[in-house]
Amino acid sequence: MLRKIEILVFPDAQVLDATGPAQVFASANQLSRTPTKTPLYEVVLVAEDPEVTCNSGVTLRCQTLSASRLAVDTAIVAGGSGVNAACSRPALIEWVRDRATHARRMASVCSGAFLLAETGLLDGRRAVTHWHRCDEFAKRFPEVRLERDPIFLRDGAIWTSAGVTAGIDLALAMVEEDHGRTLALAVARELVVFLKRPGGQSQFSAPLRLQAVDNRFSELHAWISANLSRQLTLETLAEQTGMSLRSFVRHYRQRTGRTPAEAVETIRLERAQGLLETGAAISTTARKCGFGSPETMRRAFLRKLGVGPKEWQDRFRS
């Protein structure tokens, strides 16, 4: 069954909010193994005007809203710096409300959640948006159950996603729902993106979360990520920063709110999660990530994630 997908854009939208999901669905068409080679998706960009200039300067050619009246499976609202102006456009508000009535799925990418919320569609629902605009969103739409961390959320027929590239994760999840995990993983590999991340995974990678607190040790975090198989003692880390052991431990705790050992374990866990998701053996993963033994890694998984490595890996098998 051909599924029609409309992606709403507006002046100063974020171009990747629209083109990222569009490419996921296009790649699903290319990689599908349907006997007749019938496309799985038809993707159309829609806007008030036939051409829209995004905040990157890229101009997109679109179908006008007046032509957007045929049955549609999924409607996606892009985000971007122009979303506040878009929220004051009656034609866009009417389009969102109309599509919410007729489409099987409604979705937003990044700050596109503002436009969904403006119509009242998100009242009482769980939703997510770009981390940088969460405070603004919460003040403006107090009836929405905003969650600040996930990559994407689904609440009934309405999906919302975090910043920019999270729209790709959202689209991959939709492909999985429609046509199975095998095709979704094939699309992820084709696009050379991380294997499909679960929606509940944090918007930030472990090094980015640490850097968001304080970037004084960003180079150290990058070095740790590149040297996980080594024995990363406090002495080794202190030497890498050019600080004395005592000074390093004190300053690191003051600036990041955690110990160096906790940071190393966090980065190791995230790398292990990624390897296991690709099907790597548990013993190989433990060695590459510097846990020393599968049992040590298992205890870290249970302590931090609540499941063991095998249980984690089972979630990602096709």
Mean pLDDT for each 10-residue chunk of the chain (318 residues)?
94 96 96 80 95 96 80 94 96 94 95 96 95 92 91 93 88 92 86 60 51 68 90 94 94 89 90 85 94 94 87 71
C-alpha span between 238 and 232 (Å, rounded): 10
Bridge pairing between strands 126-127 and 152-155: unpaired
Instruction: Look at residue 120 in the predicted model and tell me its pLDDT.
Output: 95
Instruction: Look at residue 204 in the predicted model and tell me its pLDDT.
Output: 46
The token pair that represents 24 in the structure block: 């996921």
What residues contact residue 51 under an 8 Å CB cut-off, 6+ apart?
A: 59, 60, 61, 62
Measured between alpha carbons, how far is residue 160 from residues 72, 174, 227 in Å?
18, 12, 36
Instruction: Look at residue 209 in the predicted model and tell me its pLDDT.
Output: 52
Bridge pairing between strands 59-61 and 51-53: antiparallel
pTM strictly above 0.85? no
Name the one residue in this structure whose structure tokens are 């929220």.
87
Instruction: Look at residue 318 in the predicted model and tell me its pLDDT.
Output: 46
